[in-house]
Amino acid sequence: MHDSRLTSSPAATQVITADHEEPNPALLHHFADPQQQKNAASLGMWLFLVTEIMFFGGMFCAYLIYRIEYFNAFAAGSQQLNIWMGAINTAVLIVSSVTVVLAVKAAEAGKRKLLVGYLVVTVLLGMTFLVIKGFEYKEKFEKHHVPGPNFNFTDTFDDNGKQIPVDSKQAELFFSIYFAMTGMHALHMIIGCGLFGTLAVLAWKGHYTPAYFTPIENGGLYWHLVDIIWIYLFPLLYLISRHS
């Protein structure tokens, strides 16, 4: 059976001393103290975010190259996107980032109900984003801008009043990239909503105290990154060439 001697970590050999007198119930056995555990979790989350940056980065690379090669088609496609929905979605995400930060503050202050409130509002804002996105996609479908056998792009690139016709295949490429990037982003939003919903339930049950709210912080980091990705997607996809 498990030998308790094997789990001891003598305080004499610790360099980092814990601030808390009583053992933190969330402290895992292989860490020396809660601060080490928190720092480890935080670094781990940041490294995961770097993988997300590189993951989306591949698509940004594809976007960048094709935008340069097929500028007219990209501009024409961009002009067909609904700038209002894009801008409102950007605003929705920004507000949701604020609620995330305030949720972390509430957790830090031990205000459980406020924490749950902010988490729930964050999820609702995330869902708002997804609903608006859904309407956007529906619009694309109706205008036959979804790549595939039903794709049909007859619009032109409005370049300061001059109507430049564009190659249909190139326009289809724009929409391929549009759907790939916004689709992957939406998938991450769905995961984020699920994550924050779970955090809200656990917070309601009292899992998070001022001594331990690391999942709220790290979940927040994830949400902020998804926001940052959209901050770049909005101008790159919706604002390629709007002056006419």
Partner 1 sequence: MAEHKDQAADQEHGTHSQFFYIGIGVVLLVLTVTTAAVAFVNLGPLNPVVALSIATFKAALVVLFFMHVKGASEKLTGVVVVSGFFFLSILLILSLADYLTRAWR
Partner 2 sequence: MVSKAATPLIPVPDTPKLNYLNNGHGLKSWLLTTDHKRIALLYLVSVSIFFFIGGIFAMLIRLELLTPQGDLLSADSYNKAFTMHGIVMVFFFLVPVVPAILGNFLVPLMIGAKDLAFPRINLLSWYLYVGAGALFLHCMINGGVDTGWTFYTPYSTTSNTQVVEAGLAVFIAGFSSIFTGLNFIVTIHRMRAPGLTWDRLPLFLWSNYATSVVMILGTPVIAITMVLVMAERLLHLGIFDPALGGDPVLFQHLFWFYSHPAVYIMILPSMGVISELVACFSRKRVFGYRFVALSSIAIAVFGFLVWAHHLFVAGISLYAAMIFSFLSFVVAVPSAVKVFNWTATLYKGSISFATPMLYAFGFIGLFTMGGLTGVILATIGIDVHVTDTYFVIAHFHYVMVGGVLMGYLGGLHFWWPKITGRLYPEGWAKLSALFVFVGFNLTFFPQFILGYLGMPRRYWQYPPEFQVLNVLSTAGASVLAVGYLLPMIYLLWSLRYGEIAGPNPWNAAGLEWKTSSPPPTFNFDETPVVTWEAYNYEEIPDKELEVPVAR
Contact 203, 116 (CB under 8 A): yes
Q: Does 124 bind partner 1 (CB under 8 A)?
A: no
Q: Pick from 61, 131, 187, 191 the residue near partner 1 by CB under 8 A.
A: 61
Amino acid at 228: I
Distance CA 31, CA 13 (A): 13
Distance CA 73, CA 208 (A): 51
Q: Does 164 bind partner 1 (CB under 8 A)?
A: no
Residue nearer to partner 2 on the CB measure, 52 or 95: 52
Q: Pick from 23, 57, 194, 235 the residue near partner 2 by CB under 8 A.
A: 57
Residue nearer to partner 1 on the CB measure, 127 or 211: 211
Residue nearer to partner 2 on the CB measure, 19 or 167: 167
Coil, helix or strand for 209? strand
Query: CA torsion sign, 57 to 58 to 60 to 64?
Result: positive
Distance CA 80, CA 238 (A): 9
**Residues touching partner 2: how many (CB under 8 A)?**
51
Q: Does 84 bind partner 2 (CB under 8 A)?
A: no
Q: Does 42 bind partner 1 (CB under 8 A)?
A: yes
Q: Does 26 bind partner 1 (CB under 8 A)?
A: no
Count CA atoms closer than 13 A to 207's CA, side-chain side.
14
Could you tell which of partner 2, partner 1, none binds residue 147, using a CB distance below 5 to 8 A set by kind?
partner 2
Strands 162-164 and 157-159: antiparallel
Query: What one-character-per-residue DSSP string does 119-131 give?
Result: HHHHHHHHHHHHH
Return the residues of window 82-111 that contact partner 1 according to CB under 8 A: 83, 87, 90-91, 94-95, 97-98, 100-102, 105, 108-109
Return the residues of window 204-243 that contact partner 1 according to CB under 8 A: 210-211, 220-221, 224, 227-228, 231-232, 234-236, 239-243
Distance CA 66, CA 68 (A): 5
Residue nearer to partner 2 on the CB measure, 116 or 173: 173
Q: Pick from 72, 82, 128, 176 the residue near partner 2 by CB under 8 A.
A: 176
Distance CA 182, CA 42 (A): 27
Tokens standing for residue 182: 């916004």
Buried b (16+ CB within 10 A) or exposed e, 6-25: eeeeeeeeeeeebeeeeebe
Could you tell which of partner 1, partner 2, none binds residue 228, using a CB distance below 5 to 8 A set by kind?
partner 1
Q: Does 194 bind partner 1 (CB under 8 A)?
A: no
Residues that bind partner 2 (CB under 8 A): 2-3, 5-10, 13-15, 29-32, 36, 39-40, 43-44, 47-48, 50-59, 61-62, 65-66, 69-70, 147-149, 167, 169-170, 172-173, 176-177, 179-180, 184
